[in-house]
A and B are shown apart, each in its own frame.
Chain A
Amino acid sequence: MAEEKKENLITVNIDGQDLQVPAGTNMVEAVKMLGKEVPHYCYHPKLSIAGNCRMCLVEMGMPGKDRATGEPMLNEDGTPKIMWMPGPAIACGTNAAPGMHIKTNSPKAVESRESVTEFLLVNHPLDCPICDQAGECKLQEFSASHGRGYSRFIEEKNVKPKRTRLGPRVTLDDERCILCSRCVRFSQEIAKDDVLGFTDRGSYSTLTCFPGKELANNYSLNTVDICPVGALTSTDFRFKMRVWFLKESKSIDLESSVGCNTVVSSREGKVYRVTPRRNDEVNDTWMPDSGRELYKQIESEDRLSYSTVNGSQTSAVEAIKAAAEILKGEGVAIVGSGRNTVEEQFVLKQIADQVNAKGVYLVARYGDGDGILVSKDRNPNVRGALATGLISDLPAEQLSVLASQIDSGEVSTVLASKEDLVAAGLSEEQLKKVKLIVIDTHASATTKNADVAIAGLTQFEKSGSVINQQFRIQKFHKAVPGPVGSIDDLAALSAIQASLSGETFPSVVGTVWEKIAAEGNIFEGLSFKGIADTGVLLDGSAFSGLAFVEGKSLHFEPKLEAAAAE
């Protein structure tokens, strides 16, 4: 394999430096490998090449050949003579060829870039103080680094509509558009929802939706991410906060088992937006719109901000003590969740072993898979529960087994984490029959009936890891502190386990991982720190007999179907 790759390498010369690149690499990527940058707007590594912004102009040349003899032409010193093209070429649309020479900083290339920048700025408004893109705007950056630094334009600028509604989540500021067509190509190629196009010509050109259509698909906000200027703006984030204030934390989209990599942007304990993070093995550079709204759960009205024992407010420490006391009794059942992190599921498993649990359940949560980045399984971490040994088979949507156990009196105590048992098929009468301990973030019928309710944290307020549909373990980090009165779910579970077993138990992800790795299952040799930012692929072959529900999606082929195809 490695040898095959080597054979495909070709040598190009960039600004006098020889570089080996794989065949088929375009010049933008080749120059990037050298640590330099060719400025570009319309080129996007995950989209087709349009070549319409002209910003990536470079000078290129090929070794000359004598037409009569076919012999390579040589300089006097014996080096191959380079026949430079008379005009510059676009680096995004030209693939590297053996022996190709590229000049990215020659006077001609610099002059080309300055001229293109000048043309792009002719009708671009001086909106930077009110533009949401300012600070992460390619046009702003490249105008500074590749522009002339002054304007020769004394005519009046074009005026175009400033707040066109393209869809429920996207607002278009037409004046700022530089017609790179990234959004058009994204809609056609990735979202497969061809709704955007340009109408009119020249300075009249306008980005519009086709008549009767709107940019409403679940991937519409990706067009905002890839817009190199501030033309496409997120209606939700519009005018909320300047980007240079935002602290970025690496996170994971926990809405389904795809596990898109994300960046959570927050300032002073408040999350402002969630954007995708590039992971070529999972989500490329995209994520669904639905996952971007998850941060709103942090400040939702029904958020639990304190723990209760028998309905009265108490400290988390007292609640944990009461919970541990209850769990020391007989007939305990545990309801974990596919929304728990691997670490929480591991500690739940320890608790289940400690109390000799009569049953350990998960609640399945199914929706429609869209074949791109939302899968059928809306639990982000069912595979984590399997891998930690919390459950051994795929969960059911209803807790009917637990219901009959309660009715027969076999189960008299239930510990539930992040699940609403009423929504999962138990009646309130059944809940009243048992001693109920709940760790959750939001109020529900279950927390109302709980003897002990412990206020936990959302994914934005804690760190942890989840295993996605590919059996790739990915970690997310704490972005903002939790509300006063809440406690990290993992710390709460660890404290309960410590109290039950009478031994100390680690309560933060780093130390819990030492225990997880020591178990000798598929996590062997891993540590929380050792999980790469793009995740680590685990060996899921032990679970290949299970009928996972996910269908085909981006970078994922369901194993059963693959086996059936063979």
Chain B
Amino acid sequence: MPIVVKRKPLTFLEKLYIPEIVRGLTVTFRRMFFGETVTLEYPEQRPPIPAGYRGVPTLVRDPEGREKCVSCQLCEFVCPPKAIRITPGEIPEDSDYSHVEKAPKEFDIDMLRCIYCGMCQEVCPEEAIWLQNQYSMSGYTRAEMVNNKAKLYELGGTLPDEHFKWNKKKEAAANGGDHGHGPAMPPADMPRSENPEVPPVYPK
């Protein structure tokens, strides 16, 4: 047995429609003149990026300006869509950082392939590659969408960390660890990392 719902006939005011139009426009004008805006004028306005956001992968320098990447190619290995391409190179012996020995000659990330998974950042033993808050990339050609080494450092900037991992080697040499036949003494104004005052606690 079908249920028949009886439609209520419209009243006179409803038949005029005008009160409903006024009601709708009231909401519109209230939002327009008094309410808070919920949309952004993208791209002039940009939304705040939360911490830990995975944007475009970039290469960073340490506070001394040394490029942190040593071209170990672990990111290239781990990258699921094979977006990263590195050509390793050697740091010349007359460089201040010749004891680091290795740096990338070329470093390309194909942003048409990148899936922003963050594996490269996770695997990096030198904390040299970071997915930062840049999220929009565009270009007219495929070639433009490949970030080369210069572009990656431009996007990456400086990482304000204080590890100075590689300086410890120079310090060790300066403190006699080289038995007199090691690399040259480090410059006097070389920043020194903090020595661990408290010995670490080990498992077992």
Q: Does B88 contact A (CB under 8 A)?
A: yes
Known contacts A159-B172, A245-B73: A239-B102 contact under CB 8 Å? yes
Selected interface stretch from A125-133, A249-257, A471-479: A125-133
Selected interface stretch from B34-42, B93-101, B151-159: B93-101
Set of chain B residues within 8 Å of A204, measured between Cβ atoms: 179
Set of chain B residues within 8 Å of A163, measured between Cβ atoms: 93, 101
Set of chain B residues within 8 Å of A152, measured between Cβ atoms: 202
Q: Please, how many angstroms separate the alpha-carbon atoms of A71 and B115 in the complex? A: 74
Nearest CB in chain A to that of B125: its residue = A129
Within 8 A of A (CB), among B109-164: 125-126
Q: Does A429 contact B (CB under 8 A)?
A: no
Tally of B interface residues using CB under 8 Å: 34
Once the chains bind, are A129 and B171 in contact (CB under 8 Å)?
Answer: no
Classify the interface of chain A: helix, strand, loop or mixed. loop
Q: Please, how many angstroms separate the alpha-carbon atoms of A152 and B70 in the complex? A: 26
Set of chain B residues within 8 Å of A502, measured between Cβ atoms: none
Nearest CB in chain A to that of B172: its residue = A156
Instruction: Return the contact of B77 from the options A125, A130, A159, A245 (Cβ within 8 A).
Output: A245
CB distance from A27 to the nearest CB of B (A): 29
Instruction: Return the contact of B100 from the options A130, A156, A159, A203 (Cβ within 8 A).
Output: A130
Set of chain B residues within 8 Å of A241, measured between Cβ atoms: 73, 88
CB distance from A272 to the nearest CB of B (A): 11
Known contacts A150-B203, A159-B173: A129-B101 contact under CB 8 Å? no
Set of chain A residues within 8 Å of B99, measured between Cβ atoms: 162
Q: Does B191 contact A (CB under 8 A)?
A: no
Q: Please, how many angstroms separate the alpha-carbon atoms of A242 and B126 in the complex? A: 16
Once the chains bind, are A161 and B89 in contact (CB under 8 Å)?
Answer: no
Within 8 A of B (CB), among A152-210: 152, 154, 156-163, 203-204, 206
Q: Does B50 contact A (CB under 8 A)?
A: no
Q: Does A240 contact B (CB under 8 A)?
A: yes
Nearest CB in chain A to that of B90: its residue = A239
Set of chain A residues within 8 Å of B83, measured between Cβ atoms: none
Within 8 A of B (CB), among A389-440: none
Q: Please, how many angstroms separate the alpha-carbon atoms of A269 and B51 in the complex? A: 42
Q: Please, how many angstroms separate the alpha-carbon atoms of A203 and B172 in the complex? A: 14
CB distance from B79 to the nearest CB of A (A): 12
Interface centre among A130, A161, A238 (most CB of B within 10 A): A130
Once the chains bind, are B172 and A130 in contact (CB under 8 Å)?
Answer: no
CB distance from A186 to the nearest CB of B (A): 25
Q: Does B169 contact A (CB under 8 A)?
A: yes
Q: Does B80 contact A (CB under 8 A)?
A: no
Once the chains bind, are B199 and A154 in contact (CB under 8 Å)?
Answer: yes
Q: Please, how many angstroms separate the alpha-carbon atoms of A157 and B172 in the complex? A: 7
Q: Please, how many angstroms separate the alpha-carbon atoms of A458 and B70 in the complex? A: 35
Once the chains bind, are A244 and B77 in contact (CB under 8 Å)?
Answer: yes
Q: Does B2 contact A (CB under 8 A)?
A: no
Q: Please, how many angstroms separate the alpha-carbon atoms of A239 and B101 in the complex? A: 9
| Cβ proximity bits A131-163 to B, threshold 8 Å, 1 near / 0 not | 000100000000000000010101011111111
Set of chain A residues within 8 Å of B100, measured between Cβ atoms: 130
Q: Please, how many angstroms separate the alpha-carbon atoms of A130 and B128 in the complex? A: 14
Once the chains bind, are A156 and B177 in contact (CB under 8 Å)?
Answer: yes
Instruction: Return the contact of A154 from the options B89, B126, B168, B196 (Cβ within 8 A).
Output: B196
Within 8 A of A (CB), among B153-204: 168-169, 171-173, 175, 177-179, 181-183, 196, 199-200, 202-203
Nearest CB in chain A to that of B99: its residue = A162
Set of chain A residues within 8 Å of B172, measured between Cβ atoms: 156-159
Once the chains bind, are A159 and B199 in contact (CB under 8 Å)?
Answer: no
Once the chains bind, are B200 and A129 in contact (CB under 8 Å)?
Answer: no
Instruction: Return the contact of A160 from the options B73, B74, B181 (Cβ within 8 A).
Output: B181
Set of chain A residues within 8 Å of B199, measured between Cβ atoms: 154
Within 8 A of B (CB), among A193-232: 203-204, 206
Instruction: Return the contact of B175 from the options A156, A161, A162 (Cβ within 8 A).
Output: A156
Once the chains bind, are B74 and A129 in contact (CB under 8 Å)?
Answer: yes
Once the chains bind, are B72 and A130 in contact (CB under 8 Å)?
Answer: yes
Set of chain B residues within 8 Å of A129, measured between Cβ atoms: 70, 72, 74, 102, 125-126
CB distance from A107 to the nearest CB of B (A): 14
Set of chain A residues within 8 Å of B200, measured between Cβ atoms: 154
Residues of B within 8 A of A (CB): 70-74, 76-77, 88-90, 93, 99-102, 125-126, 168-169, 171-173, 175, 177-179, 181-183, 196, 199-200, 202-203
5 interchain residue pairs of minimum CB distance: A129-B72, A156-B172, A159-B178, A159-B173, A159-B182
8 intermolecular pairs with C-beta atoms under 8 Å apart: A129-B125, A130-B72, A150-B202, A156-B168, A158-B179, A159-B178, A239-B89, A239-B102
